[in-house]
Amino acid sequence: MRRFKQITILALLSLAVAGCTQKKAQQLPETEILHQNQDKLTQVIIYDVFTPPVASRLYVYTSLASYEAIRFKKEGAPSIAARLRGFAAMPEPEKGKDYNFTLAATKAFFNVVRNVRVFSVDSLTAYEESVYNSFKETLDEATYKRSVDFGDSVATVILKRASKDGYAASRGKAKYLGSNEPGKWRPTPPDYLDGVEWCWNTMKPMLMDSASMFKPDLPPAFSKDTSSVYYKGLMEVYTISKNITQEQKDIAKYWDDNPLVIEHSGHMMFGNKKITPGGHWMGIAAIASKTSGADEVKTAQAYAYTSIALFESFLSCWDEKYRSSYIRPVSAINEMIDPKWLPFLQTPPFPEYTSGHSSISASAATVLAALFGSNFAFHDNSDLQYIGMERDFNSFEEAAAEASVSRIYGGIHYRFTADVSAVQGKKLGAFIIEKLGK
């Protein structure tokens, strides 16, 4: 039974105040330190307003750094990076020496955070210092230094790969403004922003041989013929919007995960920051790890696998988005049906086909199901502090399916796109498990 819970503004304020008072790191189990590290990164990503693809890059490098440092806590835990593309051999701890690998993982994690691409690094300082100080209180000086140095050495290898992944070359490109040709994407209301991250397919994949490895079939041909596949799909979006139920609105809002919605009130404009789609699924990975009682290494593995699924899915999805440059429903409906129509959700600034939410959700759900089970029921409160909503699911697949259909309810994707994108994501998730194992 699914459940929504709306909380009041007063409760939100109370939650925010409570969130400012962190438990001291020394009172936390070491798995909780890993969760808090990830949560701090998510907060920074929200504050700095990173786009969903860029956020996935931050998640994957930091999660890999954490895993590669902490895996030595469990004998025989394999290197994930060794199975990925472009990583040098990872350092190993000295035999016969004492380490705290959770400390090493934390140092590796934040070393990568500070050097990949984060603006508000100062906001992390107090938290980092509290974690490091807690370890200083319990470790001898030599073990502390050895652990920190090991974390730094892991981060160095991760950052070397990051420096050569194509990110720097993808910056500073000319704006992508689409085309007014029939069926092609063009900037959408209300803000008519240029296309986001149109060169993302030039990034080096983690596992795929190229961004086009899971290239989907072409979308239905744009047509004004009322009997065409395209027009029927368009009319479905329009009809749903005119008869949308409260349940459909709630689902659309729950999975919106738009990192920056520009709100308009008269002549005023203001940004409404939210978690990214990837951040939502990293939160679900955290919930699965906590609910299952996963140890530190399994927890770090879950974060790493989920982040790889997100990164590869955004790469695959964005490759197709700017190849097909497919028209958004709002542009077609304004042109052919209703010039004043606006979708329930604000249309994000990039082409329609394929759907990022549908693809990344299916991919993340597939890897999480492989790690924790196909019928893993969970209570999702990963977005509670941001939008005041929480939800119950019977499985990761159920959550992914709902995330996918939410885009139709929101008026920003066609059903045929959501369906194809979910298949794309499932194939990619299965590929990741095949290559990395469970």
Question: Could you report the per-residue pLDDT of 400-423, keeping only the tens digit for each?
Answer: 999 999 999 999 999 999 999 999
Q: Mind giving me the DSSP string for 175-198?
A: P-----STTB----TTT-PPPTTT
Query: What does pLDDT average to in each consecutive run of 10 residues of the chain (438 residues)?
Result: 38 36 55 97 91 97 99 98 98 97 98 84 87 96 98 99 96 95 98 96 98 98 98 99 98 91 56 83 99 98 99 99 99 98 97 99 99 98 94 99 99 99 99 96
| DSSP-derived pairing of the beta strands 391-393 and 260-265 | unpaired
Among the listed residues 167, 183, 431, the one whose alpha carbon sits nearest the alpha carbon of residue 327: 183
What residues contact residue 222 under an 8 Å CB cut-off, 6+ apart?
182, 183, 230, 326, 327, 332
CB atoms within 10 A of CB 46: 18
Q: Is the dihedral of CA 201, 174, 357, 118 positive or negative?
A: positive
What is the per-residue pLDDT across 301-347, written as a single tens digit (0 to 9) for each?
A: 999 999 999 999 999 999 999 999 999 999 999 999 999 999 999 99
> Would you call 263 helix, strand, or coil by DSSP?
strand
Residue showing tokens 């990830």: 38
Helices marked H in 203-337: 229-242, 246-254, 277-292, 296-324, 329-336
φ, ψ (nearest 5 deg) of residue 260: -155, 100
**How far apart (Å, rounded) are the C-alpha atoms in residues 366 and 423?**
11
Beta bridge partners of 272: 261
What residues contact residue 254 under an 8 Å CB cut-off, 6+ apart?
4, 383, 387, 389, 391, 406
For residue 184 the two structure tokens come to 């092609």
Q: Is the dihedral of CA 139, 142, 145, 149 positive or negative?
A: negative
Say what the pLDDT of residue 123 is: 79
Instruction: Read off the pTM.
Output: 0.92
Among the listed residues 396, 366, 362, the one whose alpha carbon sits nearest the alpha carbon of residue 378: 396
Say what the pLDDT of residue 27 is: 52
φ, ψ (nearest 5 deg) of residue 184: -100, 150
**How far apart (Å, rounded) are the C-alpha atoms in residues 243 and 335?**
21
Say what the pLDDT of residue 330 is: 99
Domains and CATH numbers, the chain: 20-162 (no CATH), 177-436 (1.10.606.20)
Say what the pLDDT of residue 119 is: 72
**How far apart (Å, rounded) are the C-alpha atoms in residues 149 and 137?**
18
What residues contact residue 255 under an 8 Å CB cut-off, 6+ apart?
277, 280, 357, 402, 403, 406, 407
What residues contact residue 216 under an 8 Å CB cut-off, 6+ apart?
320, 354, 420, 421, 423, 424
Say what the pLDDT of residue 10 is: 31
Say what the pLDDT of residue 3 is: 43
Q: Which helix (H) or strand (E) holds 46?
A: helix 30-48
CA 341 to chain centre: 30
Say what the pLDDT of residue 352 is: 99
**Would you say how long the chain is, in residues?**
438
Say what the pLDDT of residue 266 is: 56
Residue showing tokens 């079939």: 217
Angle between helices 277-292 and 296-324 (to 10 degrees): 160
**How far apart (Å, rounded) are the C-alpha atoms in residues 40 and 113?**
10
Helices marked H in 293-413: 296-324, 329-336, 356-372, 384-387, 396-409
Beta bridge partners of 264: 269
